[in-house]
Amino acid sequence: MANERLREALLRNGFDLEHAARATGVDPKTVERWITQGRVPYPRHRRTIAALVREAEDYLWPDAVAPERKAEIAESEVVKVYPRRSDIPADLWERLLGTPVARVEALSLAALFLVERPDFARQLRKRAEEGTRVRLLFGDPAAREAAKRSEEEQLGKGTVAARIRNALAFVRPLLGVEGIEIRLHRCTLYNSVFRFDDEMVVNTHVYGVPGGHAPAMHLRRLSDSGMFETYTTSFETVWAGASHATF
């Protein structure tokens, strides 16, 4: 089976077979077999390619890392656990939003705590102008899932939908900005995910508890990613099924 993840990662970074072959010291036909036949490279070549395309080995070759190694990596990826998302210090968000990175990705329902920051839209526009790829996923305010979340959190009818509409109003100036994409999803959201290159904040969702009162984790991806990659894959799955925002 072809390795489409590897193919896409190389293309996204502007690398061809020759470039990957030079980086790893192998023949271009070997690299081609890694892609078209799904051959798994030696560990040293996997590490080189993963670093080249800024992806985790576990993402490019899901079956190549031993389960016990994945468990060790997952534990090491956790920088800090916060009892509540509201306990995350403001300077962490300021650093994550203010540091030039290759990608910024957010999966949430509304994330008002973040988007209503006075400089949020300005910072993302600046990142995009510097070459950052920004992808934002918000809940569809008209979706049944938004109404259900209002019920589960024991809020007034339509509260979550209203929050989403408020959030969309904050990011409306970003529509059409090169490098920024905004989509709406209709998923039952189990976690909100905020990724800044190799760092990520995951806000778990607990039944009946507002997001700000639920636990959150600060993760930093390692080369053989485990938990970090799980949330990355989740983001990509939701992104693929989401609709383009036209608000």
pLDDT, tens digit (0-9, with 9 covering 90-100), for 181-196: 999 999 988 999 999 9
pLDDT tens per residue across span 230-244: 899 899 999 999 998
pLDDT at 247: 64
Kindly list the domain boundaries of the chain, sorted by start residue: 4-64, 73-244
pTM: 0.71
> Rounded CA gap, 43 and 62, in Å?
13
pLDDT tens per residue across span 76-107: 788 899 999 999 999 999 999 988 899 999 99
Pairing mode of beta strands 191-196, 103-107: antiparallel
DSSP state of 132: -
What's the CATH superfamily of 4-64? lambda repressor-like DNA-binding domains (1.10.260.40)
**CA-closest candidate to residue 201, choices 214, 210, 183, 188:** 214
pLDDT-derived band of residue 68, with 50, 70 and 90 as boundaries?
Answer: low
- Mean pLDDT for the chain? 88
Contact 184, 135 (CB under 8 A): no
Q: Reply yes or no on domain 73-244 having CATH 3.40.50.300.
A: no
Decide if pLDDT at 67 tops 80. Answer: no
